[in-house]
């Protein structure tokens, strides 16, 4: 095996034993990027020179014996997290020349842990999309089939991990943007509880929904990254001062006696038969590991899509008002006055999907419509949260499909926004309720496309998620294939 193929914990062991160095691992990863990036297009801004310097510094730390689990490990960052001195674009022309003067908290934490940053990954513009096709910088392709989408909005991060163009990556999840691409690219993706991981330095899409989390090659690696990035941050107003356990202590424990909820509303007409078959098999694996599966109901699921596409665009409309061409970022030329400059900058700087959501959100917040749309959606959101609280009173975790279909063809849904939005039908409820979720590979279709199973738990129960995901991963023994690139 090449060094770029290993997991974090496997490389950690090799570094500890002196069998390799961070510089060798980082060089291996960039060799892989050179070989496949032209086809996959996972990155917006590779960071080769700084990565090699960080690797050399990590090797010095390791020689002194003060390295940790992430010291010297190459990690990619979704281009929605601020990086001091490195362009941060959010996949948009309007931020195509923006260089932040500070690091996001998660970046600072990984930097302190000795991680090596391989670069900033591609994404749907301002995280608005499910396919990474709305990026100003071009489309990322699914490593398993280059004619298909990798999912979104964190498609670049998911594709980079799947294609071994990094060892792990960070993404953000507003309505499924970690879990959906993780499922479609055959990797592990964890969305933490809202408030568990600091959003300071995360460029906002919908502030009450956004959350940062890891993409990894297996469940143990997800626990390792979570140990590094979770925790209270006084700089971030929604960060929760909840004690963070050592997530690795949950790995390898059995789930005998657990009650696993299967929501009847998630096995719906229209779900791909091969996806349903793979998830049904996952249920059998969980039962074989000693858990009891019970039917639960989440009756307000049918309203999730409508609620999300009022709440998220409304918050986006407010958050994106700051991009006006005055303070930073792209500014259109040739305007006669200030008002025309605003109009030209926003018209030219934003893509169609972002403009669509700004208009929807502005309408929902406008005088005379606020109560009918945003207020009503917020009330139904409360009912969705209560559904989960009721369900978790009857079970320890919930198991669902992550996506209704495998990865679809590039361009297949770009002209039909509603079909694109339905890609997130099984993931958006988690964001509305603020609970954690994890997607784990659960098999392949006949065409060789990955399928993911999703586990959900109550607030701040990431350890419980990692425990059942680890037990499932061990007992399912899913074939560890690699994309043929």
Supply the residues annotated as catalytic.
78, 153, 177
Q: What distance lies between CA 178 and its chain's CA centroid?
A: 2
Say if residues 47 and 87 touch (Cβ distance below 8 Å).
Answer: no
401 φ, ψ (degrees, to nearest 5): -65, 155
- DSSP label at residue 191: E
Residue with the two structure tokens 């392949």? 444
263 φ, ψ (degrees, to nearest 5): -75, 125
* Residue 234: exposure state from Cβ atoms within 10 A (0-12, 13-18, ≥19): exposed
What is the rounded CA–CA span in Å between residue 50 and residue 115?
12
430 φ, ψ (degrees, to nearest 5): -65, -40
- How many alpha carbons lie under 13 Å from residue 141 in its C-beta half-sphere? 14
How many angstroms separate the most distant Cα atoms in the chain?
71
What is the rounded CA–CA span in Å between residue 388 and residue 433?
8
What is the rounded CA–CA span in Å between residue 25 and residue 11?
8
Say if residues 452 and 442 touch (Cβ distance below 8 Å).
Answer: yes
3-state secondary structure at position 245: coil
Say if residues 201 and 100 touch (Cβ distance below 8 Å).
Answer: yes
What is the rounded CA–CA span in Å between residue 127 and residue 375?
24
The residues near 112 (Cβ < 8 Å, ≥ 6 apart) are: none
Angle at 370 between CA 366 and CA 375, to 5 degrees: 155
The secondary element (H helix, E strand) that includes residue 43 is: strand 43-46
In sequence order, the β-bridge partners of residue 292 are 259
């Amino acid at each position: 095996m090449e060094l770029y193929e290993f997991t974090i914990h496997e490389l950690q062991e090799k570094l500890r034993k002196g069998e390799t160095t961070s510089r060798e691992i980082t060089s291996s990863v960039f060799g892989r990027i050179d070989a496949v990036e032209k086809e996959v297009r996972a990155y917006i801004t590779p960071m080769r020179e700084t990565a090699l310097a960080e690797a050399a510094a990590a090797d010095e730390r390791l020689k002194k014996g003060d390295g940790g689990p992430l010291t010297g490990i190459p990690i990619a960052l979704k281009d929605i997290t601020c990086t001091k001195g490195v362009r941060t674009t959010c996949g948009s022309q309007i931020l195509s020349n923006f260089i932040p003067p500070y690091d996001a908290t998660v970046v600072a934490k990984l930097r302190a842990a000795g991680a090596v940053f391989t670069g900033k990954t591609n994404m749907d513009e301002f995280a608005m999309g499910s396919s990474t096709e709305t990026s100003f910088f071009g489309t990322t392709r699914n490593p398993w089939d280059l004619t298909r989408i990798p999912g979104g909005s964190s498609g670049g991060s998911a594709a980079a991990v799947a294609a071994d163009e990094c060892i792990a990556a960070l993404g953000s999840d507003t309505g499924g943007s970690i879990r959906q691409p993780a499922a479609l690219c055959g990797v592990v993706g964890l969305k933490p509880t809202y408030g568990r991981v600091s959003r300071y330095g995360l460029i906002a899409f919908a502030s009450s929904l956004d959350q940062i989390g890891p993409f990894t090659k297996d469940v143990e690696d997800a626990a390792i990254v979570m140990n590094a990035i979770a925790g209270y941050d006084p700089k971030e107003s929604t960060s929760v001062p909840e004690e963070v356990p050592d997530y690795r202590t949950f790995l390898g424990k059995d789930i005998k006696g657990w009650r696993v909820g299967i929501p009847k509303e998630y096995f719906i007409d229209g779900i791909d038969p091969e996806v349903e078959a793979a998830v049904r098999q996952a249920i059998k694996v969980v039962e074989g590991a000693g858990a009891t599966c019970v039917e639960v109901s989440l009756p307000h699921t049918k309203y999730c899509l409508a609620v999300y596409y009022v709440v998220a665009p409304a918050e986006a409309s407010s958050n994106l008002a700051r991009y006006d061409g005055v303070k930073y970022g792209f500014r259109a030329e040739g305007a006669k006055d200030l008002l025309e400059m605003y109009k030209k900058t926003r018209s030219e700087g934003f893509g169609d999907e972002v403009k669509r959501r700004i208009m929807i959100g502005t309408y929902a917040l406008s005088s005379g419509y606020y109560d009918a749309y945003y207020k009503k959606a917020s009330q139904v959101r409360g009912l969705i949260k209560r559904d989960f609280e009721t369900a978790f009173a009857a079970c320890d975790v919930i198991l669902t499909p992550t996506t209704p279909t495998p990865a679809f063809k590039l361009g297949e849904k770009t002209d039909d926004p509603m079909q694109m939005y339905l890609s997130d039908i099984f993931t958006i409820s988690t964001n509305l309720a603020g609970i954690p979720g994890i997607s784990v590979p659960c098999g392949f279709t006949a065409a060789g496309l990955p399928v993911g199973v999703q586990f959900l738990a109550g607030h701040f129960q990431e350890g419980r998620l990692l425990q059942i995901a680890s037990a499932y991963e061990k007992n399912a023994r899913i074939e560890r294939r690699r994309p043929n690139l």
